[in-house]
Structure 1
Amino acid sequence: MDETLLTDSKQITAENTAAIKAAVEQGVYFVPNTGRNFLTVQDNLQQLGLYQKKDAYVISFNGGAVVENYQNRILLVNEMPFAQVEALFKLGVQAQYCVHVYTLDKLYIWNMQQDEIDYLAGRINGWIDLDKPDISQLRGQRLVKILFSVPTRAERKKVEQVVHEQFSFPLNVTFSSDRYIEFNPVTADKGKASLALGTRLGIKPAEIIAIGDNSNDLAMIQQAGLGVSVQNGRQFVKDVADYIAKRDNNHSAVAEVIEKFVLKHTS
């Protein structure tokens, strides 16, 4: 979604919308695959004609959940144990980062900053501010992801190293939006979730196209039959992609991919 399908102004271009609708008309599944909660993309689904649609899907929380759009029916969840989330939360609090904790239907944020509010505006609304550095009230809830907002890539890499050194439990650690380090259970990534949904729908990995821009997209780009980086993708994403779009997220890169690899072959 962000930095791939959405422009920097958080919109889906008319060209992207038209291409996606044309592909869906021809029987293609278009599945937003996002690190965000599936509830935050409902307006986008409306624009694409996929809102509350049966046999249409969203992959959310970096593969933490697979959801059918109709009645937001949860098909698959990769939960994180509370003890792991709490340990990571305490690390983020100690470093004074802005920390996001995701349950299946809510987002809790500690140490919200103005630049974070500015970034989330138009993407995520309705989060719950934690008034103290404590998540004991979330014990027993279905936790799916935790992330820190960390200002530089060098610092994010340092945090990744500290986490691997300090904690023995396995994690899927990724980066997104040039501001976040994200933590999922090791069973959850966008690639595994894409293949699991494909299996459910009778679609082979070779028949899946994945389009992304950052580290949390790597698994799906590597595991799909055709992995694509948008032009604004990070270099390490371009290095593993089968195709690098000529356009960036502000110039309908998703439409370029659909027109090149989908519509011309199914028309």
Structure 2
Amino acid sequence: MYKLVTCDMDETLLSDDRIITPKTVAAIKAASAQGVYFVPNTGRNFLTIQDNLATLGLKQQKGQYVISFNGGAIVENAGPKVLTTQALDFEIAKKLWQLGMDRGYCVHVYTVDKLYIWNPSQTDAAYLTGRVAGWELPQEAIDILATTPIVKVLYEVLDEQKRLEVKVTVNAEIDASLNITFSSDRYVEFNDQAATKGAAVLKLGEMLGIKREEIIAIGDNGNDLSMIEACGLGVSMANGRDFLKAKAQYVTQNDNNHDGVAEVIEKFILNPAD
């Protein structure tokens, strides 16, 4: 019996129009009514998905949770209250920032409550609009955050081959153990090695007394791989990347625009005998 569903947001739970479809909302609410936790597991800041939580009836709910920043934080929805963080060492974050700036990438730096963007691009702004609001565009260098925990750094790199090359370059030039992942077919994301979506959901499961075999993980891209591999049932969306589908135990018939998440919940939680 599955007791927790953890789910990526963009290109998984959200349609390309950036909404949660009505059928998926109904399925999640039905599972929640049965006592099943529904835990968004996103690379984004938890503050950016509050409207989505409201749609699902989970906003400001005690005993309900979000995993944010690719596992960099576990947050209780009531408050919201940050329960755990896994920050980057500042000197490592600074090296990542400098490398991205030197190469002219659009660079995001995430603290627990803010997003700072250097070298903003029109393509990045278009993607963020409707997903993220209120980012800051500092004129100063990253040193302004020297005393503020940084949970994630990312670069916008639109070409897939170049994203792969960036990963090789960072591993060669920065002497640090990092969790390097890809998301939304546009970002290379850098977290502390201990910060992964999979590790965070297992930690949350331990906090709630839920075993890994009792957890379903649903995703579509590289930063979802750790939770797909860690949980009892790893699911790739129909629109997921091929390497993720190869690791998943189940691939949905429907994509993020056609109730793929509802398909999983109905098949494995609401109607498991069907």
TM-score of the aligned structures, taking structure 1 as reference length: 0.98
Contact persistence 1:26–1:266 (CA under 8 A)? no
Bigger relative contact order (CA 8 A; separation at least 6):
2
Question: Counterpart of 1:251 in 2: which secondary structure?
Answer: coil
**What's the counterpart of residue 13 of structure 2?**
5
1:159 alignment partner, SS class: helix
Correspondence for 1:17 among 25, 35, 46: 25
Query: Which of 74, 98, 101 is the matching residue for 1:90?
Result: 98
List gaps (5 residues or longer) in structure 1.
Answer: none
1:257 corresponds to: 264
User: Separation in 2 of the partners of 1:265 and 1:222?
Assistant: 22
User: Who is 2:55 aligned against?
Assistant: 47
Other-structure match for 1:223: 230
Match of 2:5 in 1: none
SS of the residue 2:234 aligns to? strand
**Structure 1 residue 114: Cα displacement:** 1.2
Matched, 1:111 2:89: no
Shift of 1:266: 9.3
1:151 to 158, 164, 168: 158
Cα distance, 1:116 vs. partner?
A: 1.0
8 Å contact 1:15–1:252 — kept in the other structure? yes
Deviations along 1:141-190, one digit per CA (max 9) or x if unpaired, are 01100000001110000000001111111000000000000000000000
Partner of 1:213: 220
Distance in 2 of aligned mates of 1:93 and 1:252: 39
Residue segments in structure 2 that go unaligned for 5+ positions in a row: 1-8
2:73 aligns with: 65
Partner residue in 2 for 1:171: 178
2:36 pairs with 1:28: yes
**Residue 148 (structure 2) aligns with:** 141
1:139 CA drift (Å): 0.5
Moved over 3 A (4+): none
What is the one-letter code of the residue matched to 1:30? F
Task: Quote the sequence identity (%).
Answer: 55
Distance 2:212 2:158 in 1: 35
2:130 matches 1:122:
yes
Deviations 1:90-129 (A, max 9, x none): 0000110000000000000001111111100000000001
- The separation in 1 between residues aligned to 2:273 and 2:108, in whole angstroms, is 42
